Amino acid sequence: MNEPVLAIEDLHVEAGGVAILRGLSLAAEAGRVHVLMGPNGSGKSTLANTLLANPAYGVTRGRILFKGEDITALDTPARAARGLFLGFQHPEEIPGVSVLNFLRQAMAVRKGISDLSVLEVRMALMAWTKRLGMDDRFTQRYLNEGFSGGEKKRNEILQMALMEPDFAVLDETDSGLDIDALRVVAHGIHEVRKDRPEMGILVITHYQRILEHLTPDLVHILLDGRIVETGGPELAERLEAEGFDAFRARAA
């Protein structure tokens, strides 16, 4: 087995003095799609926030390795610069900051170029909005302000394309999307993977429906802050048939 791009080792995390993750371990290799499934309250959002380096979530034990480097103590910009991307479940609205300007700043951090030209960013945006089936006027709008749920998620995929990450964590990308919007988002993920087949992905969700459009290599079941079972795509089918309680009983 190759060295994993992202390795989470015995991770314990608390928020507000409450322990949420209780020894979570996961190893994800380049080019593979991992899906993490769990019910509400299982620790999915806590993991996403911890990978983002949200200071409200404290690591009390364990570590996070990215491309072999221990990044547990690094802040969000440092992780992004190294090639780790996080797509939010609820992307924030930022009035007064256009999509274009936001992406220019984000790309500058990722590429380590402080004076990244507007023209370079515009050219990349034009190419990707076309590939993703988006109106390029979209990039002049303020970030997520007045966006529909589907537009916010498509914007996240656009950011992922422009940031060229080595690993992407998509936190409940399917949340709140209708069937058509979900299909569009899944298409966007496939388009980015065409350009970056070596990019690893961790999709965090509690629905199986996104798996109708995005075939995982591995599925992980998260319950009570720990991964209790890992398997292939058939594991998601078992989960759909048996529910989370069946896995909780076996893990007890």
Instruction: Tell me, rounded to whole angstroms, the distance of Cα 46 from its chain centroid.
Output: 13
What burial class does residue 139 get, using C-beta atoms within 10 Å of its C-beta: 0-12 exposed, 13-18 middle, 19+ buried?
buried
What burial class does residue 31 get, using C-beta atoms within 10 Å of its C-beta: 0-12 exposed, 13-18 middle, 19+ buried?
middle
Q: Supply the pTM of this predicted model.
A: 0.88
- What pLDDT was estimated at residue 136? 75
- What pLDDT was estimated at residue 90? 65
- What pLDDT was estimated at residue 214? 85
Q: Which residue has the tokens 């388009």?
A: 191
* Residue 116, SS3 per DSSP: coil
What burial class does residue 150 get, using C-beta atoms within 10 Å of its C-beta: 0-12 exposed, 13-18 middle, 19+ buried?
middle
* 142 beta partners: 98
- Structural domains present in the chain: 6-90+165-251 (3.40.50.300)
Residue 53 host element (H or E): none
102 vs 108: CA distance, rounded Å: 10
Q: Residue 17 is encoded by which pair of tokens?
A: 């003095």
- What pLDDT was estimated at residue 46? 94
8-state DSSP, 139? G
- What pLDDT was estimated at residue 251? 62
Residue 29: which residues within 8 A CB-CB, separation 6 or more? Answer: 1, 2, 3, 4, 5, 200
Between β-strands 167-171 and 94-98, what pairing exists: parallel, antiparallel or unpaired? unpaired
- What pLDDT was estimated at residue 199? 95
Q: pLDDT 10s per residue in the chain (252 long)?
A: 578 999 999 999 999 999 999 999 999 999 999 999 999 889 998 999 999 899 999 999 999 999 999 999 999 989 988 999 988 766 676 778 788 888 888 888 787 777 778 888 888 888 988 888 887 777 777 777 767 777 777 888 888 898 899 999 988 776 666 777 778 778 888 999 999 999 999 999 877 778 888 889 999 999 999 999 999 999 988 998 888 888 887 665
Phi and psi torsions of 69, nearest 5°: -100, 135
- What pLDDT was estimated at residue 176? 64
Please answer whether residues 15 and 43 qualify as being in contact, where contact means their C-beta atoms are separated by less than 8 angstroms: no
Read off the amino acid at residue 91.
P
Given phi > 0 = left and psi -120 to 50 = alpha, else beta, which region is 235?
Answer: alpha
- What pLDDT was estimated at residue 113? 74
